[in-house]
Amino acid sequence: MSRYIQSYMLLFLFMYIVEIKSGKLLSLDNVYQKSIAAYTKERWSKCIEYFEESLHLYKLHKTTLINCRLKCKNIPNVIVKENIEDLKIYEKIFKTSQCLQQCTDEGFDKINMYSNTSDDILSDMQQRKPYEYLHICYFQMNALPKAASAAYTFLVANPFNDAMKKNLDYYIDLPEVDINEVDDLESEDYQMLYRLGLKSYNAKQWGETIANMEESLTNYLSWENGCRAECEWQPEQEWSVEVSILVSNSLTSLLICQQNCQNQLKPLFNSGTEFIADLLNYLQICYYYLERFDDVGKAVESYLLLLPRDKNMLENKEMYESFINKSSFVERSDIVYYFKRDQYEKELLQLFHDQNGSNFEINLV
């Protein structure tokens, strides 16, 4: 069962117990507006209540959409079975649209929630804006550890916000706040598993490290797929009467957003490629100590697919080849898929950039 489906079920259960008994349709817009009003009127306990509820509703809203987008991603063609002009693409778009409409209608109906949410509020949620308010509300209610975590959570997504940096510095200097308990309240599973993997690696617990790092890799790939699916919400698109130009602009905006999912790994890693390579590095060491040499070969070869000029790994491979069968050095299929998709997207964006020059800035990691 995927992490998104698990999250969906847990959130659905939460909302069923807390809200659905009233029989009223839930609205993220309404709850968020109540949050802002409570903050403005300095009703601090209500501020906390409404902002926390809005965050739960947003996760429910996002998870419902992501599940539908992933479900409808690979709808098979039924009508057009030959490559005649672009008709296969047209059918795929039509059928995907139909699938999404049906899936989202059913999904939001099941959770008794309005599907329509304003672009401004969705943007605020993506930028973790509620935590910018929440840290003040927590502070006013003397919930200082929560205030520190809320400030840190906002800062993770907005690392150049100097005012929030000062707030966080203030909180961690307070005797009531333990810096080791200041958490990113939006932390993903793959991050937690990675930290657990580092801890077990430093303790030389090779089997436990493998379990954590492999699960972190699986969860990261799942998380990035979800992040990429979320990118299909593109509120402001440049209009053109030329269909090809309109589609090109929309697809470019989508690809840029999908590529930027990797930016959330900063400052520790510049890209998903670097993060996955780091996981593979730990894995090849642990597999070596457990004498799982076939897995060593796969980890090394997959690492070199991502970072082919890495001298240390090239030396490792040369050493391993002295006692490991060369047939073991094969690339993992999940890494090959990730690598090829990433490279193709970068090449397509570079093509668009070359055609449009300085009119369109693209950060190719």
pLDDT tens track for 267-285: 889 999 999 999 999 999 9
Between 21-30, 68-77, 105-114, the lowest mean confidence (pLDDT) is in 21-30
Q: Is the pLDDT of residue 15 over 60?
A: no
Angstrom distance (rounded) from CA 340 to CA 347 = 11
Across the range 342-364, mean pLDDT stands at 76
Angstrom distance (rounded) from CA 283 to CA 313 = 12
Contact present, 313 and 296 (Cβ < 8 Å) = no
Angstrom distance (rounded) from CA 245 to CA 63 = 31
Half-sphere exposure of 31 (CA within 13 A, CB side): 23
Angstrom distance (rounded) from CA 279 to CA 286 = 11
Surface-to-core class of residue 76, CB atoms within 10 Å of its CB (0-12 exposed, 13-18 middle, 19+ buried): exposed
Token pair 């601090």 is at which residue? 44
Please report, for the chain, how many H helices and E strands are present, in that order: 15, 0
Angstrom distance (rounded) from CA 264 to CA 266 = 5
* Number of other residues whose CB lies within 10 A of the CB of residue 195: 13
- Could you say which DSSP state residue 360 is in? S
Q: 3-state class of 113 per DSSP? A: strand
The reported pTM is 0.85
Q: Is the pLDDT of residue 361 over 50?
A: no
pLDDT tens per residue, range 309-319: 999 999 999 99
Contact present, 231 and 257 (Cβ < 8 Å) = yes
Angstrom distance (rounded) from CA 155 to CA 225 = 24
Q: 3-state class of 112 per DSSP? A: coil
